[in-house]
Structure 1
Amino acid sequence: MVTVTPRRTLAGQLLILQLAIILVVLVAVAAVSLAQSAATFNRVEGRRVAALGEQLAGNALLRDRLNRPAPGEAIAPLVQNTLTQSGVTSVTVADARGRVVSSTDPTLVGGPLVLGDPRVTRGRSWFGELELGSSRELVAQVPVLGAREENLGRHLGVVVIGEASPSWWQRLVGASSYLFTYLGIASALGVLGSWLLARRIKRQTLGLEPREIAGLAEHREALLHGIAEGVIALDPQHRITLVNAVGRRLLDLPEHCLGHSLAELRINGRLRDVLAGAGGGVAPDQVVVRGGRVLVMNRTPVTKDGRRLGSVTTLRDRTELARLEQELGSFRSTTELLRAQTHEFANQLHTISGLIQIGEHDEVVRYVDTLSRHRASLDLTVTSRIHDTAVAALLMAKSAAAAERRVELRVSERTGLDRLPPEVAADVGTVLGNLVDNAVEAVAGDAATGPAWVEVELRQDTASVEIVVRDSGPGVAPELATEVFTHGFTTKAAEGGERGIGLALTRLVCHRRAGEVAVTNTDEGAMFTARMSTFPTAPQGAR
């Protein structure tokens, strides 16, 4: 049977780690206390044994006996008396030759004296730790100098006063009477703090263990980089906390953008408003033009327990879809043209049939002739000034659709357009179709004030094509003249509630062809002017 050892929880691991740290700190404190105790002992006891040594070395009896032969027996009582009165560990006296003549440790008598500093024999005192016999002691070695006239200043011997060094346990106990109390309180507080911290971390991690947190992080990365949409998350200060590769590509963000604010990344205008939730940025399906792309963005604020944590915004690239919508719009325009012509032809046939039934044959001839001249005039006006078949067909379709809404579509006498390359003609058709649709929509709702008309003017030079669309509508508010394209504003509501693809795509096409589109107001209404280059452009997304 295989026994599986349970893994320690994150809180348990943190508790053990912090207890180990506390133990190390306590050991360090104890070591410091021992070092301080040793330093204090050496300083205080060193001074005391040095003073005792100087006192004994200055004793007249000791000086007199050391100057005579066999002084040991005579000074033994003096040595023992010094030991008894001072409470030191040992007292030793050596003669001028360095031989111990008297000591409280009988094993040292007759042997050589170990000097801590050779200068002691030259009249200089010294104190420090030495091995005396079987123990290590803090000793003071004081020279005995002659005081009589015949031996004044002559070295007579050495007095050694020793105090046994305490053990580490004695030093620890003697370091402070409250040391163990302090260490105990610190240990208890450390254990309690570690336990509380472990509980707090467990709550903040929702009870997840490190391997589970790592698994969630891996799954999140896989999820973020596995979806086709862009995702970007901001904190309350509008700093980027998360972004996947698709989002970074769609927004043209640098690789190391995490932690930077929108202002630092120079994200301004409409895009900043949507990401930050300003100016209606919380509405769904916000259209933004960024880096040659039409983006649809959805921002979701993130809150927890009433606290605002930031926001998450998803991005979809609608550029290709917008183009498909424009192509579909062209087919829809053709369908509308056929439907309008069918309706118109049906009315005309009914009129002709009625005239025949009442016998007005001459009137039938005049009616048919009038219809033929009107159709020929319209075809001749368009085809004589616009030699590109695709653009001419588009204008014919738009003219019929406008007529259905009682709007007259005019072609300016200043119009002149030669045949264009297919890719240029497609872009011209996209821009022209969008501008005409917006103009017709604007004037159709304002037809009660007078005749509704839209005038198209196309001009071409060696390097560019200029499209001018004028209308008899109410015009564009001056404060929207710049924002109208940035916001993707349009005068009509698209199906499904989406707005702004038409004019946003118009500006996108113009920018891609190194051009621009603008709107101004005239005395009669609005005038949209678009200019684009006829030279080949780089593929979409090329850098």
Structure 2
Amino acid sequence: MVANLKRPTLAGQLLVLQLAIIVIVLVAVAALSLAQSAATFNRVEGRRVAALAEQLADNPLIRAQLEQPAPGAALPALVQATQTQSGVSSVTVADTRGIVVDSTDPTLVRERLPLGDQSVAHGRSWSGELRLNGTLELVAQVPVLGDQHDNLGRQLGVVVIGEVSPTLWQRALDASYNIGIYLGLASLVGLTGSWLLARRIKRQTLGLEPREIAGLAEHREAMLYGIAEGVIALDPHHRITLVNAPGRALLDLPEDCVGRSLGELDVDGRLAEVLSGGDASSSRGRDQVVVRAGRVLVMNRMSVTGLGSVTTLRDRTELAQLEREMGSFRSTTELLRAQAHEFANQLHTISGLIQIGEHDEVVQYVDALARHRESLDLTLTSRVHDTAVAALLMAKSAQAAERRVRLKISERTSLDRLEPADAADVATVVGNLVDNAIDACCSGDDAWVEVELRQDTSTVEIVVRDSGPGVAESLAREVFSHGFTTKVAEQGERGIGLALTRLICTRHGGEVAVTGAMFTARLTVGGTS
């Protein structure tokens, strides 16, 4: 069984790392302090021993004793007195041959004096570290020169004064008090700073450990790139901070879009308003319909305090195409439902007349219904020769009548039979515009909708008017890009009809526009069938 060792926390790891850095810095500071102490000792003591050596070499007694073949008792007394008065470690005197004639270290007497530099034998002074009898000392070697007429300037010997160099341990012990204070203060400050920094990082990471942060990052990548919907995030300055592959494809953005602003990417109009929150509805988190690069997109924007916003995108183009393909079936279903409701009301009326014995009234009522139906059928079949569009208008007439709206076919209407693909697109545009018009005027009195279809060799023009209030002039140019709807309820899927209308007209090389309560759509068709 393998033991499950507890992994150190992020704060613990940071603390250990910072402590290691502090220890390294403190050791370096201590080493520099000791090196500085050694340099100071060499400088100060070097000057002192050099001055003492020069002073001793200039002593007349030294010159007199060195000129004698056998120095007398005066020289040892002078050497001992110099050591006692100055407190140096050693005092040594050698003759011109380099043989020690007297020294505070008896073992050096009659031994050859080691020279720090050969220039000392030629009348030059020298100072530095030198090992004498196994002991490392800081010494000064000064030549003794004659001052009499017969020996003026001639070297009589060498005076050496030395001070034992302290070891590293001795220097550390000497400076232990100060170094201890410095190290203690530095350690206390370092520990406190490390603890505060660890707490700050802990707060910034919301108390998460590295493995948890790594897990969140992996889950984020899996969520962003594992879903079919597009996701795009903007910072408060409307620069893209994140976008997944579906979002980049839906918005037709380049590969290097992250870090660039909407303006730099030429994103403007309705799309820029929804992404940046300029639209009041989008800022409240409602679904918005936007047409972008031939796609019908449903977008939902959520603001994130201090970070910007995140917008999700759903492609509804295929759904709109499916709706277009199923338009004829839906129209037939609506026609049957509306006619069933209308026939039920008519049968109830006939049944009531029979029950009260008004048989003549029954006949007159049935004749009126037949004339109305024949008139509507004759109007449609004589002016609209495409069966798909005619069936749609018949269904919309029944649907409008159910909502107390009168659907009229303009006397200027003339439409020949179209190719099946063109007929489906024309029926979709007519159905969307008629539905929009019925919704806009159904709440008024004497509501009506008029449809006018005109056709030339290559173009079909669809004009739908209604008795409603119409579209405000300020919204006339944006109504289709906004996914505008005249429906009272504000739901996320509203407004796709108008966006789909514009998309179909654009694909057919046409356009759609609105002036007040009149919508005009133009489509290029392949010809008549």
1:168-187 to 2 correspondences below 5 Å: 168-175=168-175, 178-187=178-187
- In angstroms, what is the RMSD of aligned CA positions? 4.1
2:300 paired with 1:298: yes
Residue 59 (structure 2) aligns with: 59
Equivalent in the alignment of 2:108:
108
- Report which stretch shifted further, 134-143 or 237-246: 237-246
Is 1:483 aligned with 2:475?
Answer: no
Deviation at 1:480, TM superposition (A): 0.7
Partner residue, 2:150 = 150
Match of 1:528 among 510, 520, 525: 520
Q: Is the 8 A contact 2:514 2:520 kept in 1?
A: yes
Question: How do residues 411-490 of structure 1 correspond to structure 2 at under 5 angstroms?
Answer: 411=410, 413=412, 419-420=418-419, 422-446=420-444, 448=446, 452-459=448-455, 467-471=462-466, 473-490=468-485
Which one-letter code corresponds to 2:291 in the other structure?
Answer: V
Are the counterparts in 1 of residues 485 and 498 from structure 2 also a CA contact under 8 Å? yes
Query: Normalising by the residue count of structure 2, what TM-score does the alignment of the two structures yield?
Result: 0.81
- Secondary structure of residue in 1 paired with 2:474: helix
Q: CA deviation at 1:313?
A: 3.8
CA displacement at 1:74 relative to structure 2: 5.4
Hey, what's the Cα distance between the residues in 2 that align with 1:264 and 1:119?
Answer: 79
User: Which residue number in structure 2 is paired with residue 47 of structure 1?
Assistant: 47
Q: Secondary structure at the match of 1:323?
A: helix
Supply the distance in 2 between the matched residues of 1:359 and 1:467 (Cα, whole angstroms): 41
Write the mapping of 1:230-241 to structure 2, written as runs, cut at 5 A. 230-234=230-234, 240=240
Distance 1:459 1:258, change over 3 A: same
Per the TM alignment, residue 89 of structure 1 is displaced from its structure 2 partner at its CA by 1.7
Distance in 1 (CA, whole Å) between partners of 2:499 and 2:362 is 54
SS at match of 1:407: strand
Structure 1: 5+ residue runs without aligned partners?
A: 536-543
Alpha carbons of structure 1 residues 426 and 35: separation in structure 2 relative to 1, 3 Å: farther
Alignment-mate amino acid for residue 29 of structure 1? V
TM-score (norm: length of structure 1): 0.79
- Give the Cα–Cα distance (whole angstroms) in 1 for the partners of residues 320 and 488 of structure 2: 15
Provide structure 2 residue ranges, at least 5 long, that are not aligned to the other structure: none
Residue in structure 2 matched with residue 337 of structure 1 by the alignment: 335
Give a deviation string over 1:302-329, Cα, whole Å, max 9, x none: 56xxxx5555443322222233344455
Deviation at 1:487, TM superposition (A): 1.6
Q: Residues 371 and 268 of structure 1: is their aligned pair in 2 closer, same or farther, counting only changes over 3 Å?
A: closer
> 1:37–1:172: 8 Å Cα contact kept in structure 2?
no
Shift, 1:176, TM fit: 8.1
Residues of 2 paired with 1:238 and 1:53: CA distance? 82
The percent identity for this pair of structures is 64
Do structure 1's residue 286 and structure 2's residue 288 form an aligned pair? yes
Distance 1:63 1:317, change over 3 A: same
Amino acid at match of 2:484: F
C-alpha separation in 2, matches of 1:362 and 1:270: 57
User: Whole-Å Cα distance in 2 between the matches of residues 264 and 280 of structure 1?
Assistant: 25
CA contact 2:383–2:414 (8 Å) conserved in 1: no
What is the one-letter code of the residue matched to 1:526?
M
Structure 1 partner of 2:319? 321
Between the aligned partners of 1:249 and 1:170, the Cα distance in structure 2 is 75
Closer/same/farther in 2, CA of residues 209 and 377 from structure 1, 3 Å limit: closer
Match of 1:16 in 2: 16
Take 2:207 and 2:368, find their aligned partners in 1: how far apart are those partners?
92
Give the direction of change, closer, same or farther, for the CA distance of 1:109–1:377 in structure 2 (3 Å limit): same
* Matching residue within 382, 385, 401 for 2:384: 382
In structure 2, the CA distance between the partners of 1:32 and 1:371, relative to structure 1 (3 Å rule), is closer
Q: 1:492 to 1:97 in 2, by over 3 A?
A: same
> Which residue of the partner structure matches residue 501 of structure 1?
496
Return the alpha-carbon distance in structure 2 between the equivalents of residues 89 and 512 of structure 1: 107
Supply the distance in 1 between the matched residues of 2:365 and 2:176 (Cα, whole angstroms): 131
